[in-house]
Amino acid sequence: MMRLVVVLAVLMGVSGIPDVTISPPTASADTSAHPNSIPETADESEQIKARTEEGAEEDVMATGELNPNHYPARRAAQVVQHYLNTRYGSPFRLIGVQTVHSGNAEDVADSGRKYQLELSVNDIITNTTQTCSAELFFPKGKGQQPPEVKASLEELLKIDIKAQEEALYQKYKTNQTLMSAQYLPDSHGHIEPDMKPFWHLGILASSFIMLNESTENTLYNVAQVANITQLTTEEDHLEFDCHTLLHEVVSQEIIHWKMLFTWSPAEGVKVVQMKRLPHRHEREKSPKTN
Amino acid sequence: HISAFKSFNYKLNIMMCRDQVIRVNVKSEEQIHLLQALETAQEWEVDFWLDPVSTELPVDIRVPRFSLIPVKEHLTFHNIPFTVMIENVQELLDKEKAEMEANQMKERSTRSLNFGAYHDLNTIYSWMDTLVADYPNLITKQHIGVSYENRPMYVLKFSTGGYNRPAIWVDTGIHAREWVTQATGVWTANKIATDYGTDASLTSLLNTMDLYMLIVANPDGYVFSHTNDRMWRKTRSVNPGYACRGVDPNRNWDAGFGGPGASSYPCSDSYHGPSANSEIEVKNVVNLIQSHGNFKAFISVHSYSQLLMYPYGYVCSSANHQAELHSVGRAAAQKLTSLYGTAYQVGSICNIIYQASGGSIDWSYNSGIKYSFAFELRDTGRYGFILPADQIIPTASETWLALKHIMEYVRDHPY
């Protein structure tokens, strides 16, 4: 009962170029189709039915000025965080939302909902903060359409990480054995210092997925990088295969994704391929220890 | 030093009564070949702890008791001198095992439990016994029932006497993967035990009220998160007709049960279960609270998100005591933040995080326990459930300030 959603997409994460649009998934030689056209299996339709029951009372969306402490503003801010990481993130720069100062939401005809937020964001690694204005649009309608975000960073980009990025790139471009790591961090929250850049890369690659999957009814974090493995490549970037666990707070589900992505100081992170893995119960055959 | 040697049989716990380990200092290549041939002599069943590789290095061989004579004769015949390094392997193994157990016992005594580390269920349960043994006039351990898989559920009761005094309830670990909460429960229980008698406010509180702490509210889930799946959340009950196990214990309480914010799909991590209180872990608590009848506060501790919340979750309308609860919550959160600057949001569950039905503090509030609060501890998503162990004590310490504030408020506002 394997339910594979294979989405072949070329997602660009280029630092410093404004107004990046995320190109929709393109069909490829692989015969698996766009996720929307995959027929529902019995348990999947049960799951969707169960969620519609839940959703009933949430249809009254917060509109107008938002309470910055309440969840609608918080969820929108999280989407901005994922967006900023896809655009500006690096193994040495990871963005987190610190505070929502104010927010506003409104319906846009029948096409969706628009948010405007004032936030403080934080470079997690250096613990530097700056304010940020963001605009979001959550499209309405059938099928999973990703939100559109407009936000930019200036202050945090002034922190110079070029030398560290170059050093990391050179080290792993020329290493004799390809790196591979599991469970970053481990069950006790521990991570070796020289593995942190790979934890961050796993988070960055996941940010493309989290951005793509976000709606007003979700809030995503990376729970853990289960596996990240370097692959050989002739090209001017490093290439990785990576399996991460995402935590979706509203449903409390842990969702597994596999990704193929590249990184270089010049190009940033590009996700080449991403695949959602089946739910735990479909994999629950043998015990798996961390 | 015995564990430094590779020994396949040692790991299999095979009895090695009067087996010996002999050491050969090889003098020639020929001797090396001879010893290597020894390994293939199946009937003697020798086991090399240091393999014959070169004349520079000694060769250590574990020889089973029944082969001692033929092996020694064989070596002597070929002029290979040897010495007996270990006269009785089993004796040494027994001694080492005893040492390890002694160390574990020592670790389990309250003073030497490492509060800045995550511990498994057995370790926490053993430690509880030592805590009770160390503070017999303050703490008792109560068996409140068993889990689905028949593990005992224990509550620590802090009491200085009286009969059925007004009481405060705290639970941690209802969701298995939220490891910082069980760890915080352990630290907090120890803190209360050590501070009673020296902290004036805590002492006055315990002189008039009792405190009940359920440190591992979901023992089956906690064990499973250690052995199989670090991200496990629910109980481990069987769902008939489904491969998926478990019910979300914080959707299983009798407050808006089955409403929005919980799933009817057994494979979901927020599955509410077939009926309210279907989970024995929940029922055990309900029974205790109801038969006691005099609880004044009910506090459930979760992670992560850094939130301090009050009812309701199952509806978004205000609780009757919203203003007072918000005020107490805000003051408690400020105390928390004062220690390390950790920022918390305060509000009702439904407004702050999501609409969720069947939650514990909604049930406790509707049962008449006015001061009902839920914590979501560190962090806000960077590490999430796998919070580094070195943050346990800072988290517990700051949370204690908030808990203490709430408890003092409850003490000062009897109803």
Contacts of A280 in chain B (CB under 8 A): 229, 244, 267
What is the count of residue pairs from A and B with beta carbons less than 8 Å apart?
117
Cis preceding-peptide flag for B154 (omega within 30 of 0): no
> Is A158 near chain B, with CB under 8 Å?
no
Closest CA to B244 of A163, A244, A279: A279
* Average pLDDT in chain B: 91
Q: What pLDDT band is residue B21 in, cutting at 50, 70 and 90?
A: confident
> Is A56 near chain B, with CB under 8 Å?
yes
> Is B394 near chain A, with CB under 8 Å?
no
Nearest residue in chain A measured CA to CA from B232: A254
Closest CA to B50 of B32, B71, B66: B32
Asked if the Cβ–Cβ distance from B263 to A254 is below 8 Å, we say: no
d(CA B148, CA A151): 49
Name the minimum distance, in Å, from the CA of B412 to any CA of chain A.
29
Q: Residue B332 has what pLDDT?
A: 98
Question: Are the beta carbons of B165 and B159 closer than 8 angstroms?
Answer: yes
Name the minimum distance, in Å, from the CA of A123 to any CA of chain B.
12
Contacts 24+ apart (CB under 8 A), B322-330: B322/B348, B325/B371, B325/B372, B325/B373, B328/B371, B328/B405, B328/B406, B328/B409, B329/B373
- Side chain identity at B280, as an amino acid letter? I
> Is A15 near chain B, with CB under 8 Å?
no
* Percentage of the residues of chain A whose pLDDT score is greater than 70: 76
The pairing of beta strand B295-303 with beta strand B167-172: parallel
Of B248, B352, B391, nearest to A70 by CB-CB distance is B352
Active site residue B107: no
Asked if the Cβ–Cβ distance from B351 to A67 is below 8 Å, we say: yes
Q: Residue A288 has what pLDDT?
A: 45
Q: What is the DSSP letter of B111?
A: G
Phi/psi at B309 (5° precision): -125, 160
- Side chain identity at B347, as an amino acid letter? G
Contacts of A249 in chain B (CB under 8 A): 305, 353-354
d(CA A20, CA A33): 25
**A-contacting residues in B 301-340 (Cβ below 8 Å):** 305, 316
Q: What pLDDT band is residue A187 in, cutting at 50, 70 and 90?
A: very high
Distance of CA B112 to the CA centre of its chain: 16
Render pLDDT for B27-86 as a digit per residue (tens, 0 to 9): 788 888 888 888 777 778 888 888 887 777 778 888 888 788 888 888 888 888 888 877
**A-contacting residues in B 179-238 (Cβ below 8 Å):** 226-231, 233
Closest CA to B211 of B253, B167, B244: B167
Render pLDDT for B334-377 as a digit per residue (tens, 0 to 9): 999 999 999 999 999 999 999 999 999 999 999 999 999 999 99
Q: Residue B293 has what pLDDT?
A: 98
Of A47, A185, A186, nearest to B265 by CB-CB distance is A47
**A-contacting residues in B 99-128 (Cβ below 8 Å):** 117-118
* Percentage of the residues of chain A whose pLDDT score is greater than 90: 71
* Percentage of the residues of chain B whose pLDDT score is greater than 90: 73
Global confidence as pTM: 0.78
Question: Which stretches within B238-359 are classed as H helix?
Answer: 280-292, 322-340, 349-352
Angle at A256 between CA B269 and CA B248, to 5 degrees: 5
d(CA B252, CA B139): 30
Which of A218-222, B17-21, B100-104, B176-180 is the least confident region? B100-104
Helix H or strand E segment including A257: strand A253-264
Under DSSP, is residue A112 helix (H, G, I), strand (E, B) or coil?
A: strand
Is the pLDDT confidence value at A50 over 50?
A: no
Question: What are the DSSP E strand ranges found in B25-175?
Answer: 47-50, 59-63, 82-86, 139-146, 152-158, 167-172
* Average pLDDT in chain A: 83
Arithmetic mean of pLDDT, A145-167? 95
> Is A250 near chain B, with CB under 8 Å?
yes
The residue assigned the tokens 């503003």 is A73
Arithmetic mean of pLDDT, B190-201? 97
Question: Are the beta carbons of A173 and A165 closer than 8 angstroms?
Answer: no
Q: Residue B102 has what pLDDT?
A: 60
Query: Across the strands, what pairs with A275?
Result: A6, A258
Question: What are the DSSP E strand ranges found in chain A?
Answer: 5-11, 64-66, 95-108, 112-123, 128-139, 148-151, 180-184, 220-231, 238-248, 253-264, 268-276
Closest CA to A281 of B282, B180, B239: B239
Q: What pLDDT band is residue B183 in, cutting at 50, 70 and 90?
A: very high
d(CA B169, CA B377): 17
Angle at B211 between CA B207 and CA B215, to 5 degrees: 150
Name the minimum distance, in Å, from the CA of B278 to any CA of chain A.
19
Nearest residue in chain B measured CA to CA from A285: B243
The residue assigned the tokens 């299999």 is B12
